[in-house]
Amino acid sequence: MPLPDAEALCSALADLIRPQVTAATALIGIHTGGVWIAERLQAALGLAQPPGALDVSFYRDDYNQRGLHASAKKSHIPFDVEGAHIIIVDDVLYTGRTIRAAMNEIFDYGRPARIDLAVLTDRGGRELPIAPTFCPHTLSLSASQMLALEQTNAGKLVFRVTEK
Amino acid sequence: MRNPQLNAHGELNHLLTIEGLPREVLTRILDTATPFTEVAEREVKKVPLLRGKSVFNLFFENSTRTRTTFEIAAKRLSADVINLNINTSSATKGESLLDTVDNLAAMQADMFVVRHASSGAPHLIAQHLAATGREHIHVVNAGDGRHAHPTQGLLDMYTIRHYKQDFSNLTVAIVGDVLHSRVARSQIHALTTLGVPEVRVVAPKTLLPTGIERLGVRVFHDIGAGLRGADVVMTLRLQNERMQGALLPSTQEYFKSYGLTPERLARAKSDAIVMHPGPMNRGVEIDSAVADGSQAVILPQVTFGIAVRMAVMAMLGGA
């Protein structure tokens, strides 16, 4: 199965978001793929706010089953969340659990005016009532397949599928 | 035999001592502490990891700072925290340590943070829990006798890594009352495990345990020589309350020979950091000019201590 061109999807995603951008708009990427995409969107949309970065390890709903994620990174939101229009950015939308965790975490920084969700691709398989606001691509994969974004040494974003 | 602190997958199940823990486990605790430092900067200084869990602070020996930082750490992980100062309750009525533990376990405890004057008390509790099929209850040693104070050792390592980045070419001098210090033992095990090439202890003969060299440290009795070229100076509290017999002529004499003054600190590298586990005896082991000086990182140690304790409890409290 051919995988989508991640760089092209970043441009398509920026085109979808552009009409909705206001002075209050700010991006928050989810580690790790979402952070790379948020940096590209930031440049493409010319946003004043530098993007934030979230690692949702402290908010995951499988902590009691699986323990703390081994390589949690620092979350960092360099702008005031209170009253902001936030766009959560991630590479792949799947069960929706990461997005729920991200929203829970964002509210610990303040009360945003609005939250949207931007992803490069939606692979289905939702386990929560969460839908993307901006999504240029869909594909269907079996539950045993993992889809993730990687960055090549040259800095190019590419999708990779692995079997669980 | 398996390390009693690790489960069958090599993951931390209790934190009893740094001695014998692999470098990967220490490094993982330090790495995990980093994202927790950011939680303190938020509007809501809390994450939900230990929501619904009960953490019992079992303090059989007085401590303000350690108990408070464990309490803050557990609360920032959303745990329910119950503080028990046992020297003022059951123990004085004659209840045994393990009876106390059994009663609290019957109240659905998930974690015990234990401070005890007897070395080995946290080990005994962990063994008892394992022997009675209650390994899901975790034990954190918050200081036992002269044996270990692992979270203090870890927060010291976090502080060193924060300021010096890398352990592999450091000279670290531990100065003071090593004999009575569980902190010093935890520091020595952590420093050698993390690959610090030169660990020194600087103290009068009467305040050093015999055979300390076997832990992989160089012994100095002269503070000038001991501090020369050091990157990190870790001062220890002179433990007056633990002194028995005439180990020292007086605290004034001690300061004269071993107190960390600006003149003595000048023997270390110019960018050396000065640490102290607290509480400080100013004018005994450390001069105020050093304690309040630009090289002191004593208050950052306290702040980092919360993140390190959050990391330890979060690593224990999951699956």
End-to-end CA distance of chain B: 23
Grouping H, G, I as helix, E, B as strand and the rest as coil, residue A95 is coil
Count other Cβ atoms within 10 Å, centred on residue B238: 25
Residue B21 has pLDDT above 70, yes or no: yes
Structure tokens belonging to residue A106: 């964002």
Q: Any residues with CB less than 8 A from the CB of B20 and at least 6 apart, and which?
A: B3, B5
Which domains are delineated in chain B? 23-148+304-317 (3.40.50.1370), 150-302 (3.40.50.1370)
- A67:B315 CB<8 A: yes
Q: Which has the closest alpha carbon to B134: B114, B99, B95, B106?
A: B106
Residue B119 has pLDDT above 80, yes or no: yes
Confidence of residue B173 (pLDDT cuts 50, 70, 90): very high
Burial of residue A28, with CB atoms counted within 10 A of its CB: 0-12 exposed, 13-18 middle, 19 or more buried: buried
- A74:B49 CB<8 A: no
- A59:B32 CB<8 A: no
Assembly ipTM? 0.89
**Structure-derived torsion over alpha carbons of residues A128, A131, A137, A142, reported in degrees to the nearest 10:** 10
Q: What is the mean pLDDT of chain A?
A: 95
- B35:A55 CB<8 A: yes
Q: Which has the closest alpha carbon to B173: B143, B203, B146?
A: B203
- A110:B43 CB<8 A: yes
Q: Locate tokens 């600190």: which residue? A: B265
Residue in chain B nearest A57 by alpha carbon: B49
To 5 degrees, how large is the angle CA A94–CA A99–CA A100? 115
Model pLDDT for residues B186-220, shown as the tens digit of each residue: 999 999 999 999 999 999 999 999 999 999 999 99
Confidence of residue B243 (pLDDT cuts 50, 70, 90): low
B44 and chain A in contact, CB less than 8 A: yes
In percent, the amount of chain B with pLDDT more than 90 equals 84
Using a CB-CB distance cutoff of 8 angstroms, which residues of chain B are in contact with residue A105? 47
Grouping H, G, I as helix, E, B as strand and the rest as coil, residue A52 is strand
DSSP letter at A153 equals T
Count other Cβ atoms within 10 Å, centred on residue B277: 26
Using a CB-CB distance cutoff of 8 angstroms, which residues of chain A are in contact with residue B25? none
Q: Any idea which of A31-35, A129-133, B85-89, B150-154 has the lowest mean pLDDT? A: B85-89
Grouping H, G, I as helix, E, B as strand and the rest as coil, residue A164 is coil
- B49:A63 CB<8 A: yes
* Residue from the list B31, B38, B319 with its beta carbon closest to the beta carbon of A67: B319
- A64:B42 CB<8 A: no
The domain ranges of chain A are 6-64+78-163
DSSP letter at A94 equals S
DSSP letter at A4 equals P
Interface of A with B (CB under 8 A): 55, 57-59, 63-68, 70-76, 81, 104-105, 107-110
Topology annotation, domain A6-64+78-163: Rossmann fold (3.40.50)
- B315:A68 CB<8 A: yes
Mutation choice for A interface testing from B49, B111, B158, B316 by most A CBs within 10 A: B49
